[in-house]
Amino acid sequence: MSKSKIPSKEEVKAKAQGFLEALTPKVRDALGANLKVVQQALWWFPAGSGDSQATVHSKGSVNTSRSGGYEREVFNSVGVSMFYQVSLIDKGFPEQTELHNALVAAGIQAQWIRFGFLLPLVAAWCKLPDPFDLNQPSAQSLLGEFAENVVDKTGSTRYRDVILSLDIADAAIVLEEGVVLRPINEEELWDFGSGTFSSPPFSLQLSPSTNWCILDIQVKHPLDDSNNISSRLYALRNAVVANLAMAAVPSFTLIPIGMTAKFGPNATGTSTHGSRMPSQFGPFPAMVTVSIDPTARQQLQEIWPKVKEVTLSTSHYLSLPLRRLVDGLSRTRLDDRIVDYAIGLEALLLGDSKNDELSYRFRLRGAMVLAEVGEDRHQAFQNLKDFYNARSTIVHGVGSDGNSGHQTSHAASTPA
């Protein structure tokens, strides 16, 4: 292939396969008996009979007998990656040079190739069910994805969170292509149980469980847009949180796994945009399981487009109310929740109001809009009055009438 010719996807795929085929004997010779290692893990529920030949070992006292220790033999991906980085990635060999030249001809910047494409390809190859069988469907899919990213000059970046104790009945909830709530898979259980995914120190007592599910967000993007993708992924994550809250999911807890790029300039590791701390939403603790019934599942999918539009917008009139109402769910102190909810409702109900009579307008409009069908609006009006007075007491130390939390009513004190 001439250096000036732009390679096709099939040509890049063939070069990548030739590279891995040439790497195989080098890996075998270098690692020898260490080509496979024993992976040990611990999680709460026993593995099933077909779970990668995992063997269950009793752990702990009678009170913790449900805990299980597991082990399995896996390809030594860490050893292979280290061997490749130390011994081969800089020195090269003919098949690596051919693949490198194909990537340059496709327009990939030379400084990205070693750690943005070659090493990630080796790392993904190590995780195949059988790395030495490159004709298996999973291997061909990996090679095809690699070639597509190279020729199209695109990357694929992924952000995942664990969602604790959210029962979605073993069926994924697809909000849109690339944004999915799904059950935790076996590899993720192994990774969590063996410590591959790090957790904040105070959450280490949480044993990985088959009750966990995963918020999985994947975005395909141009390689030169890699620096902006973290903000985009995190905004989508916030939109899913808002969607869960709007669909009346009463409680859930998120623990970030982190963000990884499959191929491209940022494909050298896992990072987290924002805090590594678990985020709890709702009044119930993480160990209280919340089930998503068919009605809630349908609602999540139906309202997602609008919730996403509002959450990602910087100018939508509902953006501030929605953000504040969702923020309130994550507060641990009741007074902080009240303030967030009040700001959200004020932005929703008082957007066109002047500074006078804010409390009255808040109660009147809220009672008309928020009262359930058949509910006594007089009682809703009084409830909102008490709520707004609590907000004023927290923020100012006095009620909205300036009298230490006791609010005088207007002449027209209740709605018709």
For the stretch 307-358, pLDDT in tens is 999 999 888 878 888 888 888 888 878 788 877 877 777 766 665 555 545 5
Closest CA to 370 of 387, 390, 393: 387
Give the Cα separation of 43 and 52 in Å (integer). Answer: 15
* Confidence at residue 60, expressed as pLDDT on a 0 to 100 scale: 31
Residue 354 token pair? 């002047």
Half-sphere exposure of 185 (CA within 13 A, CB side): 8
CB atoms within 10 A of CB 227: 9
Q: Which of 267, 189, 255 is nearest to 221 (CA)?
A: 267
Report domain extents, the chain.
Answer: 9-152, 154-310, 331-396
Q: Which helix (H) or strand (E) element contains residue 161?
A: strand 154-164
CA 273, CA 280: separation in Å to the nearest integer? 17
- The list of the chain residues with pLDDT below 70 reads 1-4, 43-69, 198-207, 226, 273-275, 284-287, 347-385, 387-416
Res 405: pLDDT:
43
pLDDT at residue 359 in the model:
57
What gap in Å lies between CA 367 and CA 415, rounded to an integer?
Answer: 8
Q: Name the percent of the chain in helix, strand, coil, to the closest 5.
A: 50, 15, 35
CA nearest 72: which of 34, 39, 33, 35? 39
Give the residue carrying structure tokens 């040439």.
Answer: 22
pLDDT of residue 416: 34
Rounded to 5°, the CA angle 363-365-366 comes to 60
pTM reported for the whole predicted model: 0.76
pLDDT at 97: 96
**Residue 306, C-beta contacts closer than 8 angstroms, at least 6 positions apart:** none
> Per residue in 389-398, pLDDT tens?
666 665 555 4
pLDDT of 164: 82
What local confidence, expressed as pLDDT, does residue 380 receive? 66
Rg of the chain over CA atoms, in angstroms? 27
Q: State which amino acid sits at residue 245.
A: A
397: left (phi over 0), alpha (psi -120 to 50) or beta: left
